[in-house]
Amino acid sequence: MGCRDVLRGVPRSVRRWGAAALAVASHTESQVPTTTCGGEDDAIVSLTEQIVSENSTMLNAVIGYSDQAYPYGVTQGTEPGGWERVRTEDTPIGHVVTGSYLALTGADLAFENAGGIRAGVPAGEVTAGDLISISPYGNTLATYELTGAQILETLERSLGISAACRDVLAGQIAAIEAGEDPMQYSWPDNSGSVIVVGGATMQVAWGAPSGERIRSIAIGGEPLDGDRVYSVAMNSYLPGLADEYPAFASMVLVQKWGTCEEALRALVSETGWEERMRGLTGTVEYVAAGDSEEPSTPASPESPDASGPSVGQGSAGQGAADAAGGSLPKTGDPSAWVALIGGAGALAAGSGVVAARRGGRRAGRRRAWCSWRRPYR
């Protein structure tokens, strides 16, 4: 019976104005499994199996070899970790990603948003699937021009964003230790906008006031020059964050390259790529507020340190953490690696690099967002 059947015989005035006069007298309901709503289509099943098989071959192709693992997250009991660490600490995988951008483009610096890093590199054979899991979004790479003053302002703003992330992480760890729900502390919507930087030698004081956390910074062995124009390689997501980083609104686009995943493939396929990466990405040293002479041991790709925060990350909870140079308790829980078979289409596109020149423009902003538990981008 359709709607017209139900309304047949009801006066027009009631149908038009007196809907409230109608009521459902009774009804029955039943659950119907969706699997019974239609049968399998043999053609679709066959095509799906073919695509899965072809993608599996491409994703399992060995691109290179790694002497050590560059993890995305480290398991340590039930404490929060994994994706949280990229937003709050210097991580070895951050060096790999920014190192690949520097190696491909020859830029002075490389920026990557923390939310754009989704997995790590295993020791031994590194497959195409491993690399596309690190950068599964299909973002492209480009170089832009920024002055030293704009770079400093941008990194300080990133530290401010991460300060909120570190506060949340410290609160979650304290809640776990107290037997409380750690999810009572919500991650900032813009946590994925924290910038991971490569190519700079920096000293960071986590206990310093906002806007003054970077105690020293050098690029190419020379102190950062506020008036000098530097080339900065970054993914195609970051230019849309001009509300977070105002300098991005006016920066000039210099050159477009291929995808971020292609940059990773190019680096990891080189013999001795790890040594080259370490020579490109710089170091981050941690000092107490007001001190820039005797830095603590920095985290580095050679010696991953789960306790130290990274450039582009902020200050948690002040207090004891600041007195110790800003280190948070070591964190980590199993974090799922992003596996996107559909992303294998990027592999099929080849490894060609597209170059183009045009004037910079302000991209529409793509806001970071988070679920009830996990912020993604």
pLDDT of residue 315 exceeding 60: no
Residue bearing the bigger pLDDT, 209 or 286? 209
DSSP secondary structure, 46-88, as one string:
HHHHHHHHHHHHHHT-EEEEESS-B-S----TTS--THHHHHH
Domain spans of the chain, in order of start = 51-348
Q: How much is the average pLDDT of 192-206? A: 93
Amino acid identity for residue 114 in this structure:
A
Q: Token digits for 103?
A: 């190696």
pLDDT of residue 305 exceeding 60: no
Selection from 142, 141, 117 nearest residue 131 by Cα: 117
Any idea which of 103-107, 158-162, 291-295 has the lowest mean pLDDT? 291-295
- Cβ atoms of 313 and 88 closer than 8 Å: yes
Q: How much is the average pLDDT of 333-358? A: 36
Q: What are the tens digits of pLDDT across the range 200-230?
A: 999 888 889 999 999 999 999 999 999 999 9
For 67, counting Cβ atoms within 10 Å of its Cβ (0-12 exposed, 13-18 middle, 19+ buried), the class is: exposed
Any idea which of 3-17, 44-58, 59-73, 132-146 has the lowest mean pLDDT? 3-17
Residues 6+ apart with CB under 8 A from 192: 87, 113, 114, 115, 116, 368, 375, 376, 377
pLDDT at residue 294, as a whole number? 43
**d(Cα 238, Cα 197) in Å, to the nearest integer?**
12
Q: What are the tens digits of pLDDT across the range 97-118?
A: 999 999 999 999 999 999 999 9
DSSP secondary structure, 276-310, as one string:
HHHHHHEEEEE--TT--SSPBPPP-SSS--TT---
Task: Provide the mean pLDDT of the chain.
Answer: 76
For 359, counting Cβ atoms within 10 Å of its Cβ (0-12 exposed, 13-18 middle, 19+ buried), the class is: exposed
**d(Cα 21, Cα 94) in Å, to the nearest integer?**
65
pLDDT at residue 252, as a whole number? 96
pLDDT at residue 91, as a whole number? 84
**d(Cα 192, Cα 117) in Å, to the nearest integer?**
9
How large is the C-alpha radius of gyration of the chain? 25
Q: What are the tens digits of pLDDT across the range 48-68?
A: 999 988 899 899 999 999 999
CATH of domain 51-348: 3.90.780.10
DSSP structural state of residue 30:
-
Give per-residue burial for 268-296: e unless 16+ CB within 10 Å, then b.
Answer: beeeebbeebeebbbbbbbbbbeeeeebb
Percent of residues, the chain, with pLDDT higher than 70: 67
pLDDT at residue 207, as a whole number? 87
CB atoms within 10 A of CB 157: 21
The pLDDT-based confidence of 36 (bands split at 50, 70, 90) is low
Residue bearing the bigger pLDDT, 358 or 47? 47
Between strands 195-198 and 200-204, the pairing is: unpaired
